[in-house]
């Protein structure tokens, strides 16, 4: 629990520094991102300790949620070195802090974990990477929507000036979606190849929703390439596809593990 508290503290210190930079875009964010990376390392330590205690990697609801938040924190810390995305860190780092604390408080009682076959493990890790990347895309889409809305209303606020130029933010959004789409494609392929009875009763809704999300992201990327889709249409597609993905994975895990108490 102490490691989780330290991780949360580092994340929150980074959040405070980045929040100040949102209102002072000319300030350097290097120290804030370094503190965020410290939070990432401590967050990794939380998982490693709990996996050691349990005898293996357990990917239950809170562990999966924490890993996705951890992946988002890693992306924020690294992408933020090249792009001015302080506002993104203000959202991501507190989420990572909460997920680390939730994981530590729940898993202090964990005694053992089921060791996953390497094929199922590969499928699960690809899924988590895809969710983390596409969740970042969803946040970028929201930022793009806010920026477009402010520009249309000619509201040149400090928050607007803290964001990258519109075209740069849009390019970053589609690059993130492309990476996430590739990871999601690999997730579905490994699911078909490695997971037995993919359309079993407790997996069919997850499979169908994941495929629908994959199709929406694919249509968006194709529309971008062939017809130059952008702006509000890109935001709607991204958020709709991400909502389906959240329902597919975390919605099903929430019902199975926390409501029905099934592993």
pLDDT in tens, 141-177: 999 998 888 888 777 666 666 677 888 889 999 999 9
Does residue 81 have a pLDDT over 70? Answer: no
- End residue of a domain, out of 67, 89, 115: 115
Query: Where a domain ends, among 91, 115, 139?
Result: 115
Stronger pLDDT, 250 or 207, i.e. the higher one: 207
Shared domain check, 244 and 128: yes
* Mean per-residue pLDDT of the chain: 84
**Residue 111 confidence (pLDDT):** 46
Give the pLDDT of residue 207: 84
Whether 172 and 78 map to the same domain: the answer is no
**Do 86 and 142 reside in the same domain of the chain?**
no
Give yes or no: residues 110 and 126 share one domain: no
Long-range contacts of 102-106 (CB under 8 A, 24+ apart): 102/62, 102/65, 102/66, 103/4, 103/46, 103/47, 103/50, 103/62, 103/63, 103/65, 103/66, 104/1, 104/3, 104/4, 104/5, 104/46, 104/50, 105/1, 105/4, 106/62
Statement to judge: residues 102 and 25 lie in one domain? yes
- Co-location of 151 and 261 in the same domain: yes
Q: How many CB atoms lie within 10 A of CB 58?
A: 21
Domain shared by 10 and 83, yes or no: yes
Q: Name the domain boundary from 80, 115, 150.
A: 115
Shared domain for 123 and 227, answered yes or no, is: yes
One domain for residues 263 and 139: yes
User: 227 and 207: one domain?
Assistant: yes
Q: What is the pLDDT of residue 16?
A: 92
The CB-based long-range contact list for 15-22 (8 Å cut-off, 24+ gap) reads 15/89, 15/90, 15/93, 15/94, 15/97, 18/86, 18/87, 18/89, 18/90, 18/93, 19/86, 19/90, 21/86, 21/162, 22/86, 22/87, 22/90, 22/158, 22/159, 22/162
Note the pTM of the prediction, 2 decimals: 0.86
**Which pLDDT does position 51 carry in this prediction?**
81
- CB 170 within 8 Å of CB 234: yes
Q: How many domains does the chain have?
A: 2
Tens digits of residue pLDDT in 83-111? 667 888 899 999 999 999 998 887 554 44
Is 148 found in the same domain as 107?
no
- Statement to judge: residues 134 and 99 lie in one domain: no
- Tokens 């990794």: give the residue: 44
Domain span holding position 23: 1-115
Task: Give the mean pLDDT of 58-63.
Answer: 78
């Amino acid at each position: 629990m102490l490691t989780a508290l330290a991780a949360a503290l580092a994340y929150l210190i980074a959040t405070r520094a980045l929040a100040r930079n949102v209102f002072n875009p000319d300030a350097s964010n290097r120290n804030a991102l370094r503190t965020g990376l410290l939070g990432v390392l401590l967050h990794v330590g939380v998982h490693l300790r709990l996996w050691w205690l349990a005898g293996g990697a357990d990917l239950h609801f809170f562990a999966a949620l924490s890993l996705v938040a951890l992946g988002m924190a890693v992306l924020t810390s690294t992408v933020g070195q090249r792009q001015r995305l302080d506002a993104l860190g203000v959202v991501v780092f507190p989420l990572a802090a909460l997920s680390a604390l939730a994981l530590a408080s729940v898993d202090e009682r964990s005694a053992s974990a089921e060791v996953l076959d390497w094929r199922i493990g590969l499928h699960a890790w690809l899924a988590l990477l895809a969710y983390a990347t596409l969740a970042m895309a969803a946040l970028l889409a929201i930022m793009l929507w806010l920026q477009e809305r402010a520009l249309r209303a000619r509201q040149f606020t400090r928050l607007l000036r803290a964001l990258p130029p519109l075209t740069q933010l849009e390019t970053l959004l589609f690059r993130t979606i492309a990476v996430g789409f590739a990871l999601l494609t690999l997730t579905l392929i490994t699911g078909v190849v490695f997971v037995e009875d993919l359309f079993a009763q407790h997996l069919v809704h997850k499979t169908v929703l994941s495929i629908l999300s994959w199709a929406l992201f694919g249509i968006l990327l194709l529309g971008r390439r062939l017809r130059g889709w952008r702006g509000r249409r890109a935001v709607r597609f991204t958020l709709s596809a991400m909502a389906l993905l959240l329902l597919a994975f975390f919605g099903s895990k929430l019902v199975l593990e926390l409501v029905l108490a099934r592993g």
